[in-house]
Amino acid sequence: MSLNASARLIEDETEHEYEYEYEDEDELGAVMPFAELLLRSTKILTLPLDPARIRERRSSLIFLVPRSHPQRPRNLPMSSEHDVGKMSITARVVNIIAVVLPFAGLITAIFLLWGWGFSWCALGVLLGMYVATVLGVTVGYHRLYTHRSFETRGVVKVALTVLGSMAAQGPLIRWVAVHRRHHQHSDEHGDPHSPHQSGNGTLGVLRGLWHAHMGWLFHSDAPNLMNCVRDLERSRLVRVVSALFPLWLVVGLVLPAVIGGVITLSWSGALLGFIWGGMVRIFLVHHVTWSVNSVCHMIGSRPFQTRDNSRNNLVFGVLALGEGWHNNHHAFPTSARHGLRWWQLDLSYLFIRALAMMNLAWNVRRPGADHINARTRIGAPST
């Protein structure tokens, strides 16, 4: 498969606007006929695939932050107009309990079920499927498709999309649209999942936590949501693979069952593989991802000045494979690296680096030292 791609990032410091200009040759190759065959054979969705639109070689994308946003003050002190009021001790305790309790319950269940409802095989399948599908979301859905923080080949794009779809967070195109809208209106009216639009006090904090974590899933989409993903809708490959989401979801449940059955050569192993590598793994991935939306806008440090209340959270920096360094990400949204300090573990970025070492990724974007220093808050901790 031949792919000739060049990309550059233009950063407008006045309006903090990110514009991508890129050219690529037809990257569909042998992948496209197979994807179309799956789409039509399963009869999941029929999409108008207009070849004239697919052959458009150039596209200029302007999104992520409204043009009207004024220039950001640099090196602001710790207190600024962008900070949201501090939560009460009670609200903080309730917030932590709501996040920790489900995971504590899961760990307890593992200990209680060990030996008959859980095993080393089930643990291995759970961890393997967890890492694979989280990388599909963090590297594929998020850093590649939403922010175009690096470029890669069509086969890698398909693989990442399939893995991300197995996480059961919805089709690629809609996921990207929601996340781009989040960056457009972060912690303001129009943000799909801000925890700071539900009032003050303990009840307001709880309502905001619920909305940012899960409640937003039960709200209708913004009428113009798909305007955020016109670039993806131009790609025939992306549209077809995204439309096959139900198929990838089923594969994500069947695959761990097959692995568990093959390793143990038993139906009970297949059942445990389905339960732990399928259902429980989806539960974990969901709540870790949702915690980035909720917890990482409420608890943690803010080393960089941003127009929202995004925060770096060590726990979810690890569990979400680098996504928990959320203030870093909102300060430099197009960066492929979220853990900007040497000690901030970012497994998603390490995966991208590995792809680059194998010549499977290029144009990997990272902020320079000057940009990092310019946006660091005065007196802010380095976390």
Structural domain contains residue 31: yes
Decide if 73 is inside a domain.
no
With respect to residue 16, please indicate whether it lies within any of the assigned structural domains.
yes
Residue 278 placed within a domain: yes
* Amino acid identity, position 118: F
Each of the 383 residues of the chain gets a pLDDT tens digit; together they read 333 333 333 333 323 333 333 334 345 555 555 556 566 555 444 344 444 443 333 332 333 333 333 333 334 333 343 444 455 566 556 556 655 666 676 777 777 678 778 889 999 999 999 999 999 999 999 999 999 999 999 999 999 999 999 999 999 999 999 999 999 999 999 999 999 988 788 888 889 989 999 889 888 888 899 999 999 999 999 999 999 999 999 999 999 999 999 999 999 899 999 989 998 999 999 999 999 999 999 999 999 999 999 999 999 999 999 999 999 999 999 999 999 999 999 999 999 999 999 999 999 999 999 999 999 987 666 55
Would residue 368 count as lying in a domain?
Answer: no
* C-beta of residue 322 within 8 angstroms of C-beta of residue 349: yes
Q: What is the pLDDT of residue 218?
A: 85
Residues facing 62 on adjacent strands: 19
Domain count, the chain: 1
Q: Is the dihedral of CA 253, 258, 261, 264 positive or negative?
A: negative
Specify whether the CB–CB gap between 377 and 304 falls below 8 A: yes
Quick check: is 43 in a domain?
A: yes
Which pLDDT belongs to residue 200? 80
Cβ contacts of 43 within 8 Å, gap of 6 or more: none
Give, as one character, the DSSP assignment of residue 35: H
DSSP, res 50: -
Tokens 């932590």 belong to residue: 96
pLDDT attached to residue 43: 46
224 burial (CB, 10 Å; 0-12 / 13-18 / 19+) is: exposed
DSSP-derived secondary structure letter, 215: G
DSSP reduced 3-state for 325: strand
Helix extents (H) in the chain: 31-42, 51-54, 89-113, 120-135, 154-166, 172-184, 201-213, 230-233, 236-243, 245-264, 267-272, 281-294, 314-319, 326-331, 347-357, 369-374
Number of neighbouring beta carbons within 10 Å of residue 246: 13
Distance between CA atoms of 102 and 231, rounded to whole angstroms? 38
Identify whether the C-beta of residue 91 lies closer than 8 Å to the C-beta of residue 205: yes
Domain annotation covers residue 256: yes
Q: Rounded to an integer, what distance in angstroms lies between the CA atom of residue 169 and that of residue 133?
A: 10
The DSSP secondary structure of 356-368, one letter per residue, reads HHTTSEE------
Tell me how far apart the alpha carbons of residues 335 and 3 are, in angstroms, rounded to a whole number: 22
Note down the domain range covering 129: 5-51+85-301
